[in-house]
Amino acid sequence: MKHILHIDINSFFASVEELLNPHYANHPIIVAGRTKRSVVSSANYLARSYGVKAAMPLHLALRLCPNAIIARPHFDVYRNYADKFFNIIAVDFTNRIEVSSIDECYVDITHLIKEHITPYQIAKKIQNTILSKIKLRCSIGIGPNKFLAKMGSDYKKPFGITSIYQEDLPTKIWPQPIDDMIWIGKATATLLKKHGIKTIGDIAKSQNKQIIESLLDKNWIVHYQRANGYDSDELDYAHNAPKSIGASETFLEDTSDWEEIKLKLVELVKNVVERLQEYQMQTKTISINIKYPNFVSQNRSLTIDHHTDDYEIILLRAIKLYHNNFLDQNVRLVGVSLSHLLSNDKLTVNSELFDDYVKTDINVINKNEISVIVNEINRQFARNIITTADKKNKLR
């Protein structure tokens, strides 16, 4: 049998903010952006005691907890702490780690278990080491697979350690509502509850197999097996390259102003292309994503016939995609995403040759239209930079 840990840093962003600002001690802390449409990214346990939760609109959180300190996020610092966190485990314990998000990982400790060394002792040692070296508390779940390990790290927070093996299912897993089962989200939970499936134990029951199968897609069997303590999902130790790179932004006010949207697209494309180049990758598919004021989203994407990391090509495609599909629509959010990514060193052909060809091609087909857009973008962009600089000067 394997022994897997799931390690999760407790209220990660808020905890780091407390470390950066010692005078925050004993205050409710909410990490959130600064606009009226911001939501809570992270909250410390004091803030949570007022009912504040992640993803809650900031104004609502402040109504629940008016004296909370709002900390602006510092993602670079968080990434730095995350690196230290994973490094401590890799160097002091084992490199059999799957990093699953900025503040979470799975660790296979099967090979570390000896006659007088239990999984719990290793977990405790990791927890204490993380606390003493980077002053962050984590919750750890222990189990024979990823699912039970993750359910374990959720079981007792903060600073808990929970073992869940097959014999613990009836007491620790089955009584829980299905909403608390990992990978069962709001949509699936609502559907199942409507048909009387209310607890994880209900999913595990063989007499409910047929009803679950009829309600869910073919993934139903995965949920059924997990509810019974089985999970065949193996740890993935590879440091995987990203599958997509995206950026999106919600406007302060909904807008249909093409000039404003165009500027935002320029900004977003700049952002994603820079990250694409940092990863030393190229893209083949460009997607535009919008959200209407009623929260309905739409995507439009375009796959080109070769990989590229060329800013101009990607920008023109993005602008055209938006222009052809969403012009004059009133939107709340606009986003750009790149997918079908490939590492530069895996490219078999020189994409620059294609890029040059495509550019001449674009110019032949849409010469006037494209040059008008490019000129317009350049003009708008220059103007925007100047006004931003002016504002800064005035502030000084």
Partner DNA sequence: TCTGGGGTCCTAGGACCC
Q: Which residues are catalytic?
A: 104
The answer to whether residue 194 forms part of the interface with DNA (CB under 7 A) is no
Strand partners, 8: 104, 139
CA–CA separation, 377 and 192 (whole Å): 50
Of 126, 184, 315, 362, the one binding DNA by CB under 7 A: 184
Site of tokens 């800013």: 311
Smallest separation (angstroms) from DNA to the CB of 192? 9
Q: Which is nearer to DNA, 113 or 304 (CB)?
A: 304
Of 23, 25, 26, 55, the one binding DNA by CB under 7 A: 55
- Of the candidate spans 77-85, 328-336, 344-352, 358-366, the one that interacts with DNA by CB under 7 A turns out to be 328-336
Element (H, E) at 154: helix 146-155
Q: Which is nearer to DNA, 23 or 34 (CB)?
A: 34
CA–CA separation, 156 and 162 (whole Å): 7
The answer to whether residue 232 forms part of the interface with DNA (CB under 7 A) is no
The answer to whether residue 299 forms part of the interface with DNA (CB under 7 A) is yes
Dihedral, CA atoms, 111, 113, 115, 116, nearest 10 degrees? 140
The answer to whether residue 119 forms part of the interface with DNA (CB under 7 A) is no
Residues in region 76-105 near DNA by CB under 7 A:
101-104
The answer to whether residue 349 forms part of the interface with DNA (CB under 7 A) is no
Give the count of beta carbons closer than 10 Å to the beta carbon of residue 129: 14
Could you tell me the two tokens for 17?
A: 């903010």
Of 225, 255, 285, 329, the one binding DNA by CB under 7 A: 285
Q: Which is nearer to DNA, 262 or 291 (CB)?
A: 291
The answer to whether residue 193 forms part of the interface with DNA (CB under 7 A) is no
The answer to whether residue 323 forms part of the interface with DNA (CB under 7 A) is no
Residues 40/1, Cβ–Cβ less than 8 Å: no
Q: Which is nearer to DNA, 120 or 220 (CB)?
A: 220
User: What secondary structure does DSSP assign to 169-231, as a single string?
Assistant: IIIIITTSBGGGSTT--HHHHHHHHHTT--BHHHHH-GGGHHHHHHHS-TTHHHHHHHHTT--
User: What secondary structure does DSSP assign to 132-150, as a single string?
Assistant: HHH---EEEEEESSHHHHH
Contact positions vs DNA (CB under 7 A): 12, 33, 36-39, 41, 54-55, 57, 59, 62, 101-104, 182-189, 217-219, 242-250, 271, 275, 284-285, 287, 294-303, 332-333, 335, 337, 340
